[in-house]
Structure 1
Amino acid sequence: MAEVKDIDINEKEKDLESPPQSDNSDTDSEGDILRAAGIDLTQDDNTDNVLTLRMWVLAIGFCIVASGLNTLYTLRQPSLTVSANAVLLLAYPLGKLWEKTVPAWDVPLRAWSFSLNPGHFSTKEHTLIYVMSNLSIYVRLGADVLVEQEKFYGYNAGWGFQILITLSTLLIGFCLAGLFRSIVVIPRELIWPGVLGVTALTTTLHNVSRGETSFNTWKISRYAFFSIVCAGSFCWYWFPDFIFPALSYFNFPCWITPHNTVVNQVFGMSSGMGLIPITFDWSQISYVGSPLLVPSWAILNVFGSLVFWIWIVAVACYYTNVWNTGYLPFQSSNVFDNTGATYKVSKIVNAASTYRLDVAKYLAYSPVYMPITYALNMFGLSFATLTALLVWVALNHRHVMVEAARRIPSVVMESLPGRPKTVNDDETGAPEVPMWWYMIACVVALFMAIFAVEYWNVGLRWYGVLLALAIALVFFPPLALVYGTANTKINIDIFCRIVAGFVFEGSVLANIWFFDIGYITTIKGLWFAQDMKLAYYSHIPQRKLFLVQCVGMVIGTLSSLGVLNWALHHIEGVCTSAAPNGFTCPFSKTHFNTSLIWGAIGPRRYFRSEIGYSSLLYFFLIGAILPIPVYILSRRYPNSMWKRVHIPLFLGGLNFLPPATGMNYGSWAIVGLTFSWFIRKRLHAWWSKYNFVLSSALDSSVSVAGVLIFLTIFFTGASKHFKWWGTDVYMVCKYSTATPRTLDALFVRVTCHAFMDVVHFY
């Protein structure tokens, strides 16, 4: 493994505001960014407590609670997240309380002993509590696929399958991060912006005032600022979430003309374009992640994608009835049949057909019709992203990849016991995690995955597991390079769907588990790699991090599956439109529609459809071509706007849409640009001191308030007795199926009167 050197925080490095291929610095150095986030790689207190009884008790407790609640909330629309920042906030007073009240007794345990109270509650303990609770995000990803299998396809494989498949995918993601850590974790130019809020919050809570006096701005401390914002945000969130939900979906044009079709299509926030992205709900703004942690160049690329692909291209396609989308809602997670009704998958795939397509029933029923945003983003842009990502890596990071590939044999041999090593320690001075540890974990993960799919007969065979793992190995490094610089994920799941559609044609269950092993594992790997970077920033020995992550995977899996099985059998109407408090399973529904297309119908039959979806294949070519001129122009004009153009982000940055909407991405971009560009330029000292703390305060307060409101108001049924104009008015702006008439007549009416209706509204 390459030697890890300390970063001189006074040394000018690459600007965070520039994509990684740029060699030009701007106004801020890497050291400025790290200092603003409370990171100092030049100092470490080796006497700090790390693996203490206090850390284990708090970490396991928060992991159980966060994993359970996040699994519950993945069934909800809008989905809330008990962020690990909220755990950081709540763990701090508990850790200090333990420090002050528990007696410092040594407990003997055979050859060794441990202390009930080791003294000072350190930032390293606090960070490891965060790391274990952060596993709650990973397990909820697997829960979506389990829900899809049980609620939408009607196959409950039981606890044994659930535990094995969840643990195996977690372990595969863990191994991906470990095997590629020399490429995606150690390089100092990969800052991983997602951890900056964590380090800022831990620094603030532990009252480390390093560098605060150097900021020429407000005198209020970060801790006081965090406390005020957190308390205010906690109180405010009761309004958009319960008291006045119209503040969350602030689609006021629809309130004025609720029955106007075009106004609903243009300004609707759930089924329309969301062209006025105004919301007063932080959970809506941060639906795709906190915008305060994303560099401005990345936000501009994603926002440019929203404007061009959704608000221009998709609108043009919709009103010219491309693929018959003019008869469907502009935005939806559902797919439809030839009558405009939601597609009834049970007619063509069910237990009687062993979850394979009944071709005769399919031909007698209907092809699958997709809303325009679903077809364009989930399919067309996903195709383009695949080829763009590979070409982008080849152009900008080929030397790193080639060098890493050459060093793999030597790294593996050096990691074996008794072999001489060129580098023995990680940057904390502690022994590095040997490569063979991750390789053993990978073998265990493969055994569990293969046993699960073969024993429970979910359609996927052992060679499908190996093929899915090969795809994850190919795409994980480029995905990590993007996420480590832009804090934005790229969607490549369609590639897994198509491959499975060819190899296991007609089998929906094989498709969803191939997707889980081939793609969801890479997303989990990104989170593991991010936590490894956090450990480097926090001077936590990597072997101790390895142990904490392994324990957390087991605890998080059991907690998540326990809550999931409870919810699916005790929440009335769960995963249907009649579910209380929005428990409609939006992510599972989106996965279900996709697996229906690629698993049951299959790519061959799908692209031969008379609807004309074969034209989406041209996006593969578009994605392969676009990075080339951008690369040439950025090299020829290094100080121009081209250095900020990131084609994989421009094509794949809208990966949450659907179920996210134009309102989510629009408000996210507006808030993000306000802080990362306007405030950062005009009030740089204020931004450096408070930006990351503000993000943590908003995330943690909304998470805590959301859980409290759900448990006390919605789950108890108290919300049924609270209704007024503000709780109902936003619901008028939803798509409704038109009365039966010829489709051509409907389209002509909408198209001819669209412009006049908008003019009349104004």
Structure 2
Amino acid sequence: MSSIKEETPAEKFTDDTAEKPLDIDEEEENSPIEAVRMAVPITDDPTLPVITFRFWLLGAIFTAIGAVITQYNFFRTTYSSYSIFFVNLSSFYLGKLMARFLPTFKVTLFGQEMSLNPGPFNIKEHAAIGITCNAGAAAAYAVDILATTDLFLNYRISAIGGILMIITTQCVGYGMAGLMRKYVVYPAEMVWWQNLIQVSFYNTMHNTDDYKKVRLIFGWTRMKFFWIVCAITFFYQFIPQWMFPLLMYFDWVCWIKPFDRNIWAIFSSAQGGGAFALSFDWTSIQGQSMYYPLYSQLCTYLGMIFNYWILVPIFWLNNIWGTRVFGRPLTPRLFFPNGTIFDYKDFRTPDHSLDVERYDALGVKVTMAPMYALGFFMAFTALTSCISHIGFFHGRKIIRTFRAVLANKEEDVHTRMMKAYPEVPHWWYAVFYVVMAGLSIFCVEYYKLQLPWWGLIVALVLGFVLTLPIGIMNAVTGYGPGLSVISELICGYMLPGKPIANMVFKCYGEMAMYQCNLLLQDLKLGHYMKIAPRALLAAQLWGSLVGAIFNWVTQHVIINNQRDLLDGTRPDKNGLWTGNRVANFWGSGLIYGALGPARMFSTEGKYGWVYYGFLVGLILPAIQWGLSKKFPKIKWRLFNVTLIANGMSKFPNAFTLGILPSLIVAVIFQGYLARYKKDWWNRYTFILAAAMDTGAAFTGLFLFLFLAGGVSENLRVEFPSWWGNHYTEAGDNFPYGFVNRCGAPHSSKPAGWTNFNPAPPDSAY
């Protein structure tokens, strides 16, 4: 760590607005990318300190908060994201406050002597805190494995093993990112469009007086506006989340015929298709609806609406492939043909593998709900259509860029500016990759995770080989495919009957690529912000370490307190702790791991057609491209097959909740305000989205800790029963969770009505 101090000496600190202008030739050259020229200045002050006491403290605090919030939301029905704009705003003012009041004496931290207060809080220090949060303030993918093995197999990996698994899956991508940065970070053509808004945000806050002078409604500063909106959202969220859950699942169509099973299956957003359902819970809408590109949102929602509002009713009403046998149209569970739920615990060996002899002796095949199978079809379509779409519509550009990189043509101006700082040697990254791979092998072998060492190597090789083309796609186009489906498919054929092995293989294969792309994106952000490479590496590692610890602690506390709700032993009274994402991950583990794709998608079975999704994904963009040549006036590329297919494959990641209100918000903000009220949109949108997301996230965390028994069972408080959260005789108040709750909580049941069986046999229909 001593080398970090040499490149950012605090003793040479100047004012945080000081800039070192380039010479005239460099100013005239700038970047060949117009958007980069507009957003990224070609100025730098190499004397600004980055790795400071304020960085270590604020980076740890905001990463810990983000890791807790996002991991907590992973287990919830609705999901509220952790806004990087909240981090940027809050850390900016806290950093300024620390610069004003902290003493200047020196301390030794991580072997590095530094001043508690090296001077004004500067832009590089600020950006490094954001990069730390980007690296660690997320729900770790490895927690999926820890949660599913704990909840569904009663196999709990130790604290050391769990944290080690999280760290290795999060950090194995570092070595890959470092080795690939020459091709995916340094070239000017590798824009990484997601970074430009953050670069503009940092420069607006630090390098101009406009940010300080701008006044919003009632003359409020941006920060005052942020905290007032955040507080209002925080208190408002108690209404749909605790006092009035009917507002969360506002399935108004269900009120027309409250005891009709078909109405419930089609219009309930809790267990059905959710057609025309509303929600007044902000966590089901989220701030991204305000600023994500309208065409991408429209394509995604088009896929969701077609799937849930059109296909679900068709499949359900016509009982296609026995849809009604499974009790509800959307479920990640596996069933026997008569609708009885398949319990894997009855068919496993002591090492949690499938007992093949016992399973085959049944003489019947376990199956899944048709809409779940369709989700896999669309996931395959999304994967190959992404490759096909980028190949047809962006292929020439990517090839030109890649050839320019390989030919080592003239360097980008920003790359030349970064030569002022000591580089991270390639061998550092190579050694780090080998160490992380070795610890990963130790983890899967020592904790008996079914995946042999050679299987883990295959997963890592898969991620390594595909990261470069996917990284280029992300850098040039802004999006790229994931590897989760193809990873579990490959492992399913390699190691059938091994559900844990399949989940671990998918985690390491997917995360090696996914995390590497995130790190490459942050490397490019540091490139734009002129953060020294070694300081940047320290920021990323610090975030990953802090995030891993708090990810593990959060999932451990939640599972201990909500186990019976998450594993399905007891239904949640208000539908907030359904654990649907955990169930989805386990469902995929059973399909691809325990039973294997050869059984589940065999040509003799009824779901052999799923593999045609690969072919459909390849063909449709080719047709689009041909039409774009025939009818060039139509913007065919905006009808993105990948986004539409991705929308259709969303379930069962969450309930069909928030589709219509999110679409309404997107149309208002992106369709109207962004076009016709551009000044208002620029002034309010991002800060409004950040404030509402932050307030909603803190409400959920507060409810868990202090009203749902998260801290202590003595703090478990239920809001009194009334018509907005009516408790049934069974003690639940989950609106529309079952057909007898569909819109009429106080109505008497019609004559002859019996309680709904969630998995009735065929004869029931």
Q: Under TM normalisation by the shorter chain, which class is it?
A: 0.7 to 0.9
2:674 maps to 1:674 = no
Q: Which residue of 2 aligns with 1:593?
A: 587
Equivalents in 1 of 2:54, 2:212: separation in Å? 30
Equivalents in 1 of 2:511, 2:626: separation in Å? 33
Return the offset for 1:599: 0.8
Equivalents in 1 of 2:29, 2:288: separation in Å? 25
Q: Which residue of 1 aligns with 2:566?
A: 575
Equivalents in 1 of 2:412, 2:425: separation in Å? 11
- Partner secondary structure for residue 662 of structure 1: coil
Return the offset for 1:588: 1.9
Q: Which residue of 2 aligns with 1:373?
A: 371
Instruction: Map 1:83-482; keep pairs closer than 5 Å.
Output: 83-107=83-107, 113-181=113-181, 184-185=184-185, 192=192, 194-195=194-195, 198=198, 208-210=208-210, 222-286=222-286, 290-328=288-326, 329-351=328-350, 354-361=352-359, 363-364=361-362, 366-377=364-375, 379-399=376-396, 425=416, 427=418, 429-477=420-468, 479-480=470-471
Return the offset for 1:498: 1.3
- Partner secondary structure for residue 367 of structure 2: coil
Of the three residues 24, 31, 35, the one matched with 1:30 is 35
Contact 2:491 2:593 in 1 (8 A): yes
Equivalents in 2 of 1:475, 1:57: separation in Å? 36
2:689 maps to 1:695 = yes
Return the offset for 1:374: 1.7
Return the offset for 1:107: 4.7
Q: Which residue of 1 aligns with 2:78?
A: 78
Question: Could you list the per-position Cα deviations for residues 268-312 of structure 1 after superposition, in whole angstroms to 9, with x for gaps in the alignment?
Answer: 1121111114222221112xx722331112112212222333433
Equivalents in 1 of 2:130, 2:412: separation in Å? 32
Equivalents in 2 of 1:262, 1:631: separation in Å? 41
Instruction: Map 1:523-562; keep pairs closer than 5 Å.
Output: 523-562=514-553
Contact 2:445 2:452 in 1 (8 A): yes
Equivalents in 2 of 1:719, 1:586: separation in Å? 24
Equivalents in 2 of 1:320, 1:301: separation in Å? 27
Equivalents in 1 of 2:28, 2:371: separation in Å? 46
Instruction: Map 1:486-505; keep pairs closer than 5 Å.
Output: 490-505=481-496
Equivalents in 1 of 2:760, 2:59: separation in Å? 60
Moved more, 360-369 or 680-689: 360-369
Look up the equivalent residue of 2:345 and give its one-letter code.
S
Number of positions where the alignment pairs a residue of Structure 1 with one of Structure 2: 712
Look up the equivalent residue of 1:541 and give its one-letter code.
A
Equivalents in 2 of 1:40, 1:423: separation in Å? 9
Look up the equivalent residue of 2:599 and give its one-letter code.
R
Return the offset for 1:100: 2.1
Return the offset for 1:458: 1.7
Q: Which residue of 1 aligns with 2:497?
A: 506
For structure 1, the 5+ residue unaligned runs are 14-28, 415-419, 748-762
Q: Which residue of 2 aligns with 1:734?
A: 737
Question: Could you list the per-position Cα deviations for residues 587-607 of structure 1 after superposition, in whole angstroms to 9, with x for gaps in the alignment?
Answer: 221111111011111111212
Moved more, 49-58 or 731-740: 731-740
Change (3 A) 1:296 1:192: farther
Look up the equivalent residue of 1:358 and give its one-letter code.
V
Of the three residues 606, 621, 629, the one matched with 2:600 is 606
Contact 2:580 2:654 in 1 (8 A): no
Change (3 A) 1:94 1:111: closer
Question: Could you list the per-position Cα deviations for residues 213-257 of structure 1 after superposition, in whole angstroms to 9, with x for gaps in the alignment?
Answer: 999999866445434433332332222222222222211222453
Q: CA RMSD in A?
A: 3.9
Equivalents in 1 of 2:270, 2:82: separation in Å? 23
Contact 1:107 1:116 in 2 (8 A): yes
User: Percent identity between the aligned chains?
Assistant: 26
Equivalents in 2 of 1:423, 1:538: separation in Å? 9
Look up the equivalent residue of 1:295 and give its one-letter code.
P
Return the offset for 1:515: 0.7
Change (3 A) 1:169 1:105: same
- Partner secondary structure for residue 692 of structure 2: helix
- Partner secondary structure for residue 438 of structure 1: helix
Return the offset for 1:331: 1.9
Instruction: Map 1:594-673; keep pairs closer than 5 Å.
Output: 594-608=588-602, 611-654=605-648, 656-673=650-667
Question: Could you list the per-position Cα deviations for residues 628-650 of structure 1 after superposition, in whole angstroms to 9, with x for gaps in the alignment?
Answer: 11122234444413031222222
Q: Structure 2-normalised TM-score?
A: 0.82
Contact 1:70 1:136 in 2 (8 A): no
Change (3 A) 1:448 1:110: closer
Change (3 A) 1:407 1:339: same
- Partner secondary structure for residue 726 of structure 1: coil
Question: Could you list the per-position Cα deviations for residues 160-183 of structure 1 after superposition, in whole angstroms to 9, with x for gaps in the alignment?
Answer: 432332222112233444444455
Equivalents in 2 of 1:293, 1:265: separation in Å? 32
Equivalents in 2 of 1:559, 1:587: separation in Å? 19
Change (3 A) 1:190 1:614: same
Contact 1:490 1:653 in 2 (8 A): no
- Partner secondary structure for residue 617 of structure 1: helix
Equivalents in 2 of 1:458, 1:398: separation in Å? 40
Return the offset for 1:508: 1.2
Equivalents in 2 of 1:203, 1:407: separation in Å? 30
Return the offset for 1:69: 4.3
Return the offset for 1:548: 1.2
Question: Could you list the per-position Cα deviations for residues 644-685 of structure 1 after superposition, in whole angstroms to 9, with x for gaps in the alignment?
Answer: 122222222455421323333443333223222221111122
Change (3 A) 1:108 1:367: closer
Contact 1:142 1:516 in 2 (8 A): yes
Contact 1:6 1:41 in 2 (8 A): no
Equivalents in 1 of 2:557, 2:281: separation in Å? 29
Look up the equivalent residue of 2:626 and give its one-letter code.
I
Change (3 A) 1:574 1:207: farther
Instruction: Map 1:680-719; keep pairs closer than 5 Å.
Output: 680-715=674-709, 717-719=715-717
Contact 1:472 1:521 in 2 (8 A): yes
Equivalents in 2 of 1:557, 1:347: separation in Å? 34
Question: Could you list the per-position Cα deviations for residues 558-609 of structure 1 after superposition, in whole angstroms to 9, with x for gaps in the alignment?
Answer: 2322333344345452523337674443222111111101111111121238
Change (3 A) 1:484 1:650: farther
Moved more, 540-549 or 225-234: 225-234
Of the three residues 717, 722, 725, the one matched with 2:723 is 725
For structure 2, the 5+ residue unaligned runs are 1-24, 728-732, 740-754
Q: Which residue of 1 aligns with 2:19?
A: none
Equivalents in 1 of 2:426, 2:239: separation in Å? 51
